[in-house]
Amino acid sequence: MSAPQWRTSSAVPITASDSPALSNEPEKGEKKSTSLSNVLSSTNAKLATLSFQPRNPVPANQGEVTPTLSKKLAEAPVFVPRGNSTPRATSPTKAYEDYQLASNFDTYDTGSEHAAHGYKAPGFNSSNGAEDMMATVRHPLKYHLYAPPTPHVSNFHPSHLASMTFFMDPIMHENLLRKQDALSTTQPQQIGEHLPEILHLYHHLVPLEPGANPPSSALMDPRFFSKGIKHGLTGASGDPSRIFGHRTTIYKATCVLDGKSYALRRIENFRPASETSIQTVERWRKIRHPSIVAVREAFTTLAFGDHSVVFVYDYHPLATTLYMEHMTVKPLQPDPRTGQLQPASMHVPERVLWSYLCQLSSLLRVIHASGLAARSIEPSKVLRTSQNRVRLSGCAIFDVLSYQPNPPAESLPENQREDLVMLGKLILCTACNNSAAAQTVDASMDLLRKRYSTELVDLLTKLIETHELDTNEGFNADSLVVALAPRFSDELGSVLNHTDLQEASLMRELENGRLVRLLCKLNIVQDRPEDEGNSQYTESGDQYILKLFRDMVFHPVDEHGRPVVDLSHILLHLNKLDAGIDERIMLTSRDELSCLVISYAEIKGIIESLYSAIVRHN
């Protein structure tokens, strides 16, 4: 094999020599190999034996040597400068001139902040220029390095710590992937199903509730298809018309304006008394709260073959309801120790109940302050979008269904007190794991006293008996929030801890596209199809160096010649290449007859040079 044509750089090629006098030819049966350590050790040995030897040593018995000038140097002419500048005075007292500041200098604010963008150029800190001695030295950010996890979020099991340091939590990653899948999943229409292709500004309607034509499994939580969860979203009693008095159906659809997915709830066989009733939705659009499913718009349609009203809400993929989470039969779960299937625990921890109370009471306070009433606090209308995270859906529907042009003055306070009663019954049914627990309040309260604290039971009793209290006592949403103040402190701590975990996960994925950009450049400059037909193109120089580097990073083998798949090996070399450090590596050809010693900085320069050339010719 002939040595390749190396580029002009500091790379050191090491090739097998063809001269028998200069190479140690191995014996027959012995494998040829070139070791970098042998080369370096022999070079160091030669350097170690060198010493300074003067050409004309002075004899020991000779006296001091007096230096003399040669005859040519003595006869050299006197140097006379050609410039027109005035020579400097030989004495400090002669030709004295006052020092004056120049008038053409650039103004510089020494108090300004010294910004350091990127890496400093070579020689930046050398003594060839003056620097501000009072300036604070600021080092640039090292974008190529991964920071270790912060102490408050690093309490993981040792077996998970390695992967959790560089990647997102696997559980969070799986949940986000399933939500992304639900956002993009569509379903063809079933036989006998007549859904409009385009409804107002929305298309690709997909049903989200179980029924005669159940939705795709990717759109719903797998527990929807277990025993006892046939009507997990439509209603606690299995009757979809029990809540609003009309049959409702909910769909997922895509908006043509922004391409986002929304939830469309259709009220079947309902014709509004006037167009003014639809305009009441505008008041709900202005409410922004983390515990509400935001209302977008409402419109009437004949696309389904009848008079229907459609309410548009934000779509939360894979959202369940409190009815499905806490009031339905769960499938058997495997025991973590024995592996045997056992019934799932239905007990709801008290801290979860307090969390539900804090979130929904805060929402009621905002709704009541806006002069509205929720009127839809029911187990099948409270969505659970994530761990202990609830949102109230179905808002604005009752305002349209029971619209009155001139409502009585006492109707709004009555509806707001009804919201507090419904909130107490919701928590009562959730704690008892029974949607009918609110029908027997006394028996349900006796059961709660055996499971939960007296503080929780007393608060639920006060909420359910709100109608019986004197209106002058002033128990409302504001009073409820004040009563829950200690629990709001606990809830705030949980939210802040969750925020820290989310931020830590975001930090792990902060530079996830950095190596992708590097790999894109590396693959763009290698194996170009236009170079195959070029007779002048040869695998030498820069292209050959990149080919050897690719083999070292992605095609390593063990001592038996078997391929090695090591992600840490790949990430290590790619991070060093992206940083462009001065560390040198040895690249060996596939036939092991030639090798090259080169730094990561030089390889990065080769990639950038070839990539820039391709971009210029584009």
* Binding-site residue set: 265, 314-321, 380-381
User: In the beta sheet, which residues pair with residue 584?
Assistant: 599
d(CA 180, CA 218): 10
User: HSE-up of 277 (CA within 13 Å, CB side)?
Assistant: 18
| Cα distance from N-terminal residue to C-terminal residue, the chain | 35
318: Cβ contacts below 8 Å, ≥ 6 apart: 175, 178, 179, 182, 219, 220, 221
- DSSP letter at 509 equals T
Dihedral (CA of 428, 431, 434, 435) sign: positive
549: Cβ contacts below 8 Å, ≥ 6 apart: 577, 587, 603
Known binding site for ATP: residues?
265, 314-321, 380-381
Return the amino acid letter for 447. Answer: L
Burial class (CB in 10 A: 0-12, 13-18, 19+), 350: middle
**Phi, psi at 71, each rounded to 5°:** -65, -35
331: Cβ contacts below 8 Å, ≥ 6 apart: 223, 226, 227, 344
Type and span of the H or E element at 383: strand 382-386
Our measurement of the distance from residue 244's CA atom to the centroid of its chain's CA atoms, rounded to an integer in Å, reads: 40
Asked if 551 and 573 count as a contact pair (C-beta separation under 8 A), the reply is: no
3-state secondary structure 386-455: ECCEEEECCCCHHHHHCCCCCCCCCHHHHHHHHHHHHHHHHHHHHHHCCCCHHHCHHHHHHHHHHHCCHH
